Amino acid sequence: MDSTPVALRFTLPELTQLLQSKEEKPDTSALFQIIEETRSSRYDSVCIPLTNDKWRQRWHEMCIVEDETKPRDPSAEQKAELWRSGVVAFKREEVIPTTLDEATSIIGLASDWIYLDSPDEWVRHDSELALLQELAYANYLSISNVILPPPRNREHVASYARAVNAALGSLGYTSKTQLSIRLPVYYPSVAPKISSETVSVVPPSEKDIGTSWEIWDSIRSICDSNPRLSISLDLTPPLPPSATLLQRWFGEPLRHVFLPAASFIPNAKGYPVLTKATQSFIRDVVKLRPTIILSQVSAKVHTAGGSSSYLQYVRHLEKTSPAIVAQETEGTVENFSKGWHDWLQAPLQPLQDNLGSLTYDIFERCPAKYDQYEKAVCLALLDRPPNKPINIYVVGAGRGPLVDCSFRALERSGRKASIFAVEKNPSAFVTLQERNQTSWSSQVRLIYGDMRKMPLPPDNEKADIIVSELLGSFGDNELSPECLDGVMRILKPNGTSIPVSYTAFLAPLSSSKLFHEVRSRDQALKDAETPYVVSLQAVNILSGSGNESRSSTQCGPKIQECWDFIHPRKDAILDLQGFPITNSHNNRSVKLKFHIPTAGTLHGFAGYFEAVLYGDIGLSIHPDRMHNISPNMTSWFPLFFPLKDALYLPENSELHVSIWRLSDKQRVWYEWHAENFLPVSVTAPEPRSPPRTASPPPAPRHGATLRPTTPGATISPLLDALSPLVPPGSPSPPPGGRGGGRSLPQIGTGLTKSATTLVKIGQTNLHNPGGRSSWYGL
Amino acid sequence: MDSTPVALRFTLPELTQLLQSKEEKPDTSALFQIIEETRSSRYDSVCIPLTNDKWRQRWHEMCIVEDETKPRDPSAEQKAELWRSGVVAFKREEVIPTTLDEATSIIGLASDWIYLDSPDEWVRHDSELALLQELAYANYLSISNVILPPPRNREHVASYARAVNAALGSLGYTSKTQLSIRLPVYYPSVAPKISSETVSVVPPSEKDIGTSWEIWDSIRSICDSNPRLSISLDLTPPLPPSATLLQRWFGEPLRHVFLPAASFIPNAKGYPVLTKATQSFIRDVVKLRPTIILSQVSAKVHTAGGSSSYLQYVRHLEKTSPAIVAQETEGTVENFSKGWHDWLQAPLQPLQDNLGSLTYDIFERCPAKYDQYEKAVCLALLDRPPNKPINIYVVGAGRGPLVDCSFRALERSGRKASIFAVEKNPSAFVTLQERNQTSWSSQVRLIYGDMRKMPLPPDNEKADIIVSELLGSFGDNELSPECLDGVMRILKPNGTSIPVSYTAFLAPLSSSKLFHEVRSRDQALKDAETPYVVSLQAVNILSGSGNESRSSTQCGPKIQECWDFIHPRKDAILDLQGFPITNSHNNRSVKLKFHIPTAGTLHGFAGYFEAVLYGDIGLSIHPDRMHNISPNMTSWFPLFFPLKDALYLPENSELHVSIWRLSDKQRVWYEWHAENFLPVSVTAPEPRSPPRTASPPPAPRHGATLRPTTPGATISPLLDALSPLVPPGSPSPPPGGRGGGRSLPQIGTGLTKSATTLVKIGQTNLHNPGGRSSWYGL
C-alpha cells in the first residue's frame, strides 16, 4: 500500500536555531544534515521557507513606505527601481536551500510577507515581483512544490489570482515546479483573541467556511483550472463539528494539509490526539493522498508522547480509515476500484463493436452480479407453473456466464427448462460452442446472430424467460431498450424479461480532477460531449436532500431518478414482423431540480442505474443503495456526464437539469443542460394595477395553441402570445416511462405570489454530440 | 439610404379568402399574384404561414389524444408511427407556397400549433418532427426566413431550445434558411380579459418584460448563439410607458418586429398612430434595420387612412428617427460611422508599425480634433510669459497636422515660437520635408527618430510645449504614456505636455453581434484576448447608475473611470540619462463595481477615453460627454474588450470588474476579469456564539503580514491566516494615478452586519494575452 506522505515543517526561527547547531561539513551542508535526520525519523519530506529575514528586510526597505507623511527616501526608491528592472539578484545569505541535494526533499514556502492582494497597488506589484523571483529560484533548484502565502483580502482576490496565474505562466512548460495555495480551512469573521500562550477562536459559521472555498474557487477559475495549481489546506483553525461542510474539498486538488502540533488536543494521558471532527476529516482525506505537513512537534506542546507521537497518530488514523481499510479488503468494490479512480473510459458499445475475450473475462469476474442473476432466474422459474415446458433464452450470451447462471438456477429451483443462447459476436460464438461441448453437455441450443434480427421460432420454442445483461452504467446507455425491443417478438404472451426494468439516476458533481481530465484530452470540446465510465473518487456531489431547500419550489433528493424502461412494453405499436415502427418510444427526457446547500463548482453529473432483475432481486450502483441491493458488485463504475465549462453554484441555489435520451434511425445519444436559480426575497409586493377582477376562464381542454385561428376576429391572431406563461416551478409530470396517453397542456394560472422568487443566475451550454462521434450506434 | 424593410402579414383566414378570390393562371399562381400586388403597394415582402389547416388537422388526428379516458384508436397511433418513421410526406393541398417564384419574397411562419415546450413529452416529440418537416420544406424552397411560434412554458424552455437547436442543425451548412423566434415583448403575469371586440390587458410589470428576454436568453444560449437564429419581437401587447426597459433588445439579433394594426391607436381624426412609447421604440429600432411586419391593414381597424396609412406612418417614423437623421447629416459622428457599425478592427500600433499615408489621411479628416488642438496650443502659448522664446515640439508629427495646428495657434495667439517636429516613420518623414518646403517656409526643425531615443538638445532648445497625438480609444492603449515618458527629458522644468492628462473609462455591454463576430474568427480563443476598435451600434450597456442599487455596497455610475495618466510625471525616478528605470509606474489596475438594474448577458466591455489637452480644452469619446467636450469628433471609435464566454447577469446584480494595464520590458497589455454578485436578504441573523466580548485590538500599522514570525511562540506561525479576511465591498483606494506613497493594509474589521449579503453567483475567465500576440510592442 502506498501510504500518505507526511512532511515536517520548520518555521524560520526553528530552522535558524537548528542550522546554527549544525557544523557545516565539506560534502554535507547543515541544511542537508537536518533533512537527512528528519527523513530518518520517517518523514517523507521537509517543509521550509525558501528565504530568510535578510531578504524580507531588504524588500521591506526598498518597497514599503513606513510613514506616508514623511518625504520618501529617493535612494530607497532608486534601489527598488533597480531591483524591479531585474538587475539585482538574491544574495547567498538571503536564501535557505542552495543545492540540488537539499532541494530534492523540500516543500518550499514562498515568503509569507508576500502580499499579492494588498489594497495598495504598489505593494501588490512588488509582491508579485518578489514571488516571481522566489519561484524562479525554486525552479532553478527543481523544487517540485512551492506553497504560497494565503489570500487575505476578498476584495482583491482577483489581483492575487492574476499574479498566481502570471507566476504559473513564468515557469515554462518543462518546469517540474507546482504551486499550492495555502488556505485556512476557514476565515473567521471576527478576529481571534490572542494572548501570549493561547488563541481563543470563535467557532466558525457556515459562511466563514464557505468564504475559504469561494476564495479558492476564484483563484482556480482565474488560473483557468491550471493543473499545476493545488491547495494546501491549513487546519490551524479548529475544525467545525460538522465535517459535511468539508466535503467540498474532496472535489478539489488537495495536495497538502497543514496540521500543526497546536491543533492537536491532549488526551487523558496528555498524548496528542485530534478532535473527532479532525480525526474524521483526516481519515477521509487520506484516500486522496495529500501530504500531511506536521509542525512544532518538538515544541513540547503536549506533555506526553514526545516529538514522534504526532506522526504515529497520523499513521494510526490512516490505518483505521474506513476508505483505506475497504481498499485493502479483497472482494470489495473499493479494492476492485484501486488504480481506476477518476480514470475516464469511453463506455463500451457492445452492440456496435464485438467485444474481445479479455473484456468478457473482466465482466465474468464479478460473482456478485451473477449471484443476483441466478437468484432472479430461480425466482422466475418458481413463479411458472410446474410441469409445463419452459424455454429460457439467454440473449447476448457472450462467453456464456448467464447460461451458467441459468443452469445453476434450474438446479436450485428443481425445475427443468430448455436453454437457448443467442450471440451476434462471431468470435464469442466459438467459445459458446466449445463450452456447450465441455461444460453444458450440448444441452444448449446456440443461435448465431443479432437478437433483433433472429428468425421467429415456432410457438412452442418461443421464450418463457429472456435473460440478458445489456445494461450500462446509466442503465440504457448500452442500448438495452433497443435490443430487447427487437427480441420481444420471440417472447410468449406471458413471458418474462430478466431484467424486468431499469432506472437511470443523476446527481450534480464537482471534480477539478475530472474536469481537467476531460479538458486535457486532444479534442477537448468534442470530448466534453460524451459521457465517460469513471470510478468516482476525487468528487463532491453538490446536491443536498431537497427538504433542506428554503425556496418555494420543490427540489428532489440528492440523487434523482431520470427515467425507466420496462420489458416487455405494454403499449407497443409494432409492424407486421413484430418490430417497433420507430424508436420514438425509447426517447426520454426529464427535468430535475436539485437543491445546492453549499456553494460549489459544477463540473458535470454522475450517472447511476438500478435494475429490477426479477421480484425483489436487483442490481444497483446507486451509492446509497448498492450495498443493500447488490453488495460487492464490481461490474459497473458510474457514468460521468462532463460539462465543457464549469458553472458556479452559490449556496442555497437550485439547479434545474434537463437531460434527454434521443435517437434517430442509426443512433442513440444524450443531451444535457442546466440552469441555475437563486431564491431571492421580494421585500415589497410588486405593484399591479388594475387588480384582477375575475379569474381567467379555464383554458380549453386542448389549449389555445391548437385552436385554429378564428376567421374575421379583430383581435390579433398573435394574441396567443398573451397567454400567461407557464412559470418555472410549475408541476412537471412525474418522471418515469412514457405512457400512451398524452394530452395538451393545462396552462398555468400565473406566477407564484410567495415572497420568494427564483432568480435565474446562470446556465451551462447544451451538451450534444451534434453530428459527431459521441453517440451509440444502433 | 437603405430604408427599413416592411412586410405585410396575412393570417391563414385572410390568405384563404384572398386565394379563393384569385384565378389561377398557367404562369402566375394565385399566391404569386397576391405577392406581386403586395409588393406593388410598396411592401418589401409577404409574411404567410407555410402550411394550412389540412396539415394541422392531420397532425392533430395522428398525434393528439383527445380524451385520455377512452382507449386510443390504434390506427391513429399506427399512422403517427408511420409518419414519425419518415415514410409519409406533405400532401400538395397541405402547404401554401409551392414554387421558387412565390418563395423569393416570403417570410414563412411555421405552424403556430407546434408546441415544442409542451409539458407532454409526446406532444414535444411530435411537434419537433412537425417543425423539422416544415423547415425541410422551407429550405427546399430557399425561403430565407422562417418564424417559429413563441415559447409558452418557462418550465420547458430547455426542451423548446433543444428542438430549435436540432432544427438549426438539420439545415445543413449551405442552407440559406434562417430561423427567428417569435417573442411577445412581454408575457403578462395574469391572463388578458378577452371580450368579443377588445382585449383589455393589465399593464406589464418589470418582471413580465424581463421574462420575455430571459426566455430568449435561454434559447440563444442553448443554441450556442447560433448566428442563424434571430428574434421576431411581437409588439401586439401594448408597450410599457418606460422604453428604457426595451434597451436590452438592442444588443440582440432583432430581425423582425410584429406590428399589427390592432396595436395602433386612432388619433383625433381617426387615423392610425402609435403610442408615444411605441413611436419612440420604432424610431430607435430602425437603426438596426429589422423588417417591420404589419398585419390586418385591410381589416378596417381604424376609421380613417385606409390600408396604406400604416405603412405611411412607419415610413414617417423612420424619417423622423433621430438616429437616421443624424446618420444622414454630413459632418456628424453618426454619418462618419455609417458602414463601420459593429465592425471589429485591431487597434493600431503606431509605435510598433509605421503607418501608411492613407491611414494618416483618414486621421487628418477630423477637423474637430485639430480645432481642439489648435485651441489648446493657443491657450498654452498665452499662459507663457510674452517676449520669452518658446519652443514647441510636435512629437510623432506624422504628416504634420499638429504642426499646422501649432502655426494656426501662433497666429491666433499672436505669439512667436520655434517649432520642432519629431517623427520616427522614415516614409512620413519624407512628407514632412516636403511640407516644410511647400507649406511651412522651412521654419520647422525636423528631427528624424524615435522620440524616446532622440538626443538631448541644448538647454535653450529644450521644449516649452510638447504636443502629441498618441492617444488610442482607451487613452493609453497606443502607448502614449511610454512614449511621452521617454521624451520628457527634453521638456523644460516648467514645460507643458499637450495633452496634460487622459483617463480611461469602462462599461459592461451586451451584444450578440459583437460576441458572434469575435467567436467566428479563425482563432476564436486567441482573438477573445484582444480589445478591438468598434463603432458600437447593436449594443446594450448593461450598467445602471449606481444609486439605483438596492444592495449594501456602493456601485459607481453607468460608465466608470479606470485610471488616468498625467504628463509630465511629478514623482519620476529616472536614470542618469533621464529615462524611467522601469515601466512599473505605468502599470495600472482598478476594480469597478457596476449595478445591473435589468438582467442581461455580458459579452464584454466598452472602453472610452477622455483627455485634457490644456486648460478646459479636451477630447472625449465618453458617450455622455463627447457631444459637449469635443462635438463631431470622428477620430476614435470605442474599444471593445471581448469575453470568451458570455456571462449571465440577473436583475439587480452587481458586477465587479477588475482590469489591469501591465507591462514588461518589451510589451504592454491588458488583462480583465469579472465576478458577479447578487444581494440576498438574510432573514435570520447568523448564530454566533460565544458573543464577542471585546473589540479586536487595532491591527498594527503594518499589518501582521509583514511582521517577522515571533521566535519561540507556541501559537501556530500560520495564525496570520486567522486574521479576519477583508470582505468584498470594503472601500478601495480611489481610482487614479499611482502616487509615490504606499503603505501596508489596514485590515478590515469584519463582515457587514446588514441584513443583505452579496452572494457570488458567477465569474468570467481571466482574459490575458498570455505570451501570445495580443499585446502592444514597446
Please check if B360 is assigned to a binding site.
yes
C-alpha cell at B414: 499672436
Whether A724 and B189 lie within 8 Å, measured CB to CB: yes
Given this model, what pLDDT does residue A496 score? 97
Contact B110, B147 (CB under 8 A): yes
Q: Is A73 on the interface with B (CB under 8 A)?
A: no
Given this model, what pLDDT does residue A712 score? 33
Given this model, what pLDDT does residue B704 score? 29
Q: Is B169 on the interface with A (CB under 8 A)?
A: yes
Q: Nearest to residue B762, comparing CAs of A650, A215, A275, A362?
A: A650
pLDDT digits (tens, 9 = 90+) for A221-237: 999 999 999 999 999 88
Tell me which chain A residues have a C-beta less than 8 angstroms from the C-beta of B692.
Answer: 190, 202
Chain B interface, mutation test: which of A69, A123, A148, A152, most B Cβ atoms within 10 Å?
A: A152
Say yes or no to pLDDT of A685 above 80. no
Chain B interface, mutation test: which of A742, A747, A757, A765, most B Cβ atoms within 10 Å?
A: A742
Residue of B nearest to A743 (CA): B65
Minimum distance, in Å, between the CA of residue A42 and any CA atom of chain B? 23
C-alpha cell at A389: 415446458
Say yes or no to pLDDT of A459 above 80. yes
Whether A645 and B648 lie within 8 Å, measured CB to CB: no
Buried b (16+ CB within 10 A) or exposed e, A346-379: ebbebbeeebeeeebeebbebeebbbbbbbbbbb
**CATH tag, B357-469:** 3.40.50.150
Minimum distance, in Å, between the CA of residue B519 and any CA atom of chain A? 15
Whether A760 and B198 lie within 8 Å, measured CB to CB: no
- pLDDT interval class at A214 (50, 70, 90): very high
pLDDT digits (tens, 9 = 90+) for A163-185: 999 999 998 888 889 999 999 98
Contacts of A668 (CB under 8 A, 6+ apart): A479, A482, A583, A586, A661, A662, A775, A776, A778
Please check if A423 is assigned to a binding site.
yes
Q: Which of residues 95-134 of A touch B (CB under 8 A)?
A: 112-113, 115, 118-125
Nearest to A152 among B690, B725, B743 (CB): B725
- pLDDT interval class at A189 (50, 70, 90): low
Q: For chain A, give me the number of helices (H) and strands (E)?
A: 20, 29
Tell me which chain A residues have a C-beta less than 8 angstroms from the C-beta of B689.
Answer: 202-203
Q: Is A174 on the interface with B (CB under 8 A)?
A: no
CA distances from B434 to B393, B400, B498 (A): 18, 10, 25
- pLDDT interval class at B338 (50, 70, 90): confident
Name the residue with higher pLDDT: B274 or B754: B274
- pLDDT interval class at B731 (50, 70, 90): very low
Whether B112 and A720 lie within 8 Å, measured CB to CB: yes
Q: What is the DSSP letter of B347?
A: P
- State the average pLDDT over residues A272-293: 93
Name the residue with higher pLDDT: A361 or A751: A361
Please check if B369 is assigned to a binding site.
yes
Given this model, what pLDDT does residue B551 score? 53
Q: Is A733 on the interface with B (CB under 8 A)?
A: yes
Contact B642, B532 (CB under 8 A): yes
Q: Which of residues 554-593 of A touch B (CB under 8 A)?
A: 573, 580-582, 584, 587-589, 591
The superfamily in CATH containing domain A6-189+205-335 is Divalent-metal-dependent TIM barrel enzymes (3.20.20.150)
Please check if B591 is assigned to a binding site.
no
What rounded mean pLDDT belongs to chain A? 86
What rounded mean pLDDT belongs to chain B? 86
Residue of A nearest to B656 (CA): A155
Buried b (16+ CB within 10 A) or exposed e, A550-582: ebebebbbbbbbbbbbbbbbeeebeeeeeebbb
Query: What is the distance between the alpha carbons of residues A467 and A397, in angstroms, rounded to a whole number?
Result: 9
Please tell me the least confidently modeled range out of A9-18, A185-194, B386-395.
Answer: A185-194
C-alpha B393, offset from chain centre: 39
Q: Nearest to residue B99, comparing CAs of B26, B171, B8, B23?
A: B26
Whether A222 and B673 lie within 8 Å, measured CB to CB: yes
Catalytic residue among A318, A334, A469, A610: A469
Please check if A753 is assigned to a binding site.
no
Q: What percent of chain A has pLDDT over 70?
A: 85
Given this model, what pLDDT does residue A672 score? 95
- pLDDT interval class at A714 (50, 70, 90): very low
Minimum distance, in Å, between the CA of residue A233 and any CA atom of chain B? 11
Q: For chain B, give me the number of helices (H) and strands (E)?
A: 20, 29
CA distances from B244 to A761, B541, B542, B752 (A): 22, 11, 11, 33
> Is the domain defined by B502-682+763-777 classed in CATH 2.60.40.10?
no
Whether B762 and A762 lie within 8 Å, measured CB to CB: yes
- pLDDT interval class at A745 (50, 70, 90): very low
Please tell me the least confidently modeled range out of A335-339, A750-754, B61-65.
Answer: A750-754
Our answer to whether residue B478 is catalytic in this structure is yes
Residue of B nearest to A167 (CA): B770
Contacts of B339 (CB under 8 A, 6+ apart): none
Whether B296 and A724 lie within 8 Å, measured CB to CB: no
Q: Is A772 on the interface with B (CB under 8 A)?
A: no
Nearest to A671 among B154, B162, B692 (CB): B162
Query: What is the distance between the alpha carbons of residues B626 and A778, in angstroms, rounded to a whole number?
Result: 64
pLDDT digits (tens, 9 = 90+) for B323-332: 899 888 888 8
C-alpha cell at B168: 438549426
Given this model, what pLDDT does residue B610 score? 98
Minimum distance, in Å, between the CA of residue B534 and any CA atom of chain A? 27
- pLDDT interval class at B665 (50, 70, 90): confident
Nearest to B162 among A153, A580, A660 (CB): A660
Whether B123 and A744 lie within 8 Å, measured CB to CB: yes
Q: What percent of chain B has pLDDT over 70?
A: 85
Our answer to whether residue B328 is catalytic in this structure is no
pLDDT digits (tens, 9 = 90+) for B213-247: 999 999 999 999 999 999 999 998 877 666 667 88
Domain residue extents for chain B? 6-189+205-335, 357-469, 502-682+763-777
Query: What is the distance between the alpha carbons of residues B424 and B611, in angstroms, rounded to a whole number?
Result: 24
Say yes or no to pLDDT of A717 above 60. no
Tell me which chain A residues have a C-beta less than 8 angstroms from the C-beta of B573.
Answer: 74, 77-78, 81
Given this model, what pLDDT does residue B71 score? 72
Given this model, what pLDDT does residue B608 score? 98
Phi and psi for A498 in degrees, rounded to 5? Answer: -115, 110
Tell me which chain A residues have a C-beta less than 8 angstroms from the C-beta of B209.
Answer: none
- State the average pLDDT over residues A598-603: 94
Please tell me the least confidently modeled range out of A703-707, B326-330, B494-498.
Answer: A703-707
Q: What is the DSSP letter of A35?
A: H
Tell me which chain A residues have a C-beta less than 8 angstroms from the C-beta of B740.
Answer: 65, 72, 77
Count CA atoms within 13 Å of residue A54 on its CB side: 10
Given this model, what pLDDT does residue A536 score? 94
DSSP character string of B204-272 = PPHHHHHHHHHHHHHHHHHTTT-TTEEEEEE--SPPPS-GGGGGGGGGS-EEEEEEEGGG-EE-TTS-E
Q: Nearest to residue B397, comparing CAs of B449, B334, B337?
A: B449
Task: Report helix angle B30-40 to B12-21, nearest 10.
Answer: 110
A·B CB contacts under 8 A: 487
Minimum distance, in Å, between the CA of residue B365 and any CA atom of chain A? 40
> Is the reported ipTM for this assembly greater than 0.90?
no
Q: Which of residues 607-666 of A touch B (CB under 8 A)?
A: 645, 648, 650-651, 653, 656, 658, 660, 665
Minimum distance, in Å, between the CA of residue A204 and any CA atom of chain B? 8
Please check if A342 is assigned to a binding site.
no
Say yes or no to pLDDT of A689 above 50. no
Whether B84 and A205 lie within 8 Å, measured CB to CB: no
Minimum distance, in Å, between the CA of residue A90 and any CA atom of chain B? 19
- pLDDT interval class at B549 (50, 70, 90): low
Nearest to B236 among A165, A187, A721 (CB): A721
Minimum distance, in Å, between the CA of residue B693 and any CA atom of chain A? 10
Q: Is B320 on the interface with A (CB under 8 A)?
A: no
